[in-house]
Amino acid sequence: MSITSRDIIPLSQIRARFTELADQVSQGQEKIITRNGESYVALIDSKKLDYYHNLEKSHLHLLLLNEVEQGLDDVTNQNIIGLAEFRKKHGRNK
């Protein structure tokens, strides 16, 4: 769903229109709240927020799996270094 100019609300109007805006958001109409003419915060449905958080976690898991795959490929291809060299390269002297 795209944001239109009707979905951009000055912070000064929030108190007077909060119930109306919350009802619109619960029906899928996200709102951008501005402060001094600049984007400030977004008002979104709580289910969509949960969805966004789960999507972010899934993305992080995919990135980690990609790193694991790259590490396994490096080991398979003998593209490895010893512990002492690793510590020297990454500043870990313990």
Domain boundaries, the chain: 5-44, 48-90
Where residue 38 falls (left for φ over 0; alpha for ψ -120 to 50; beta otherwise) is: beta
CATH topology of domain 5-44: YefM-like fold (3.40.1620)
Whole-structure pTM value: 0.55
Q: What is the pLDDT of residues 10-64, one digit of tens each?
A: 889 888 999 999 999 999 999 999 999 999 999 999 999 899 989 999 999 999 9
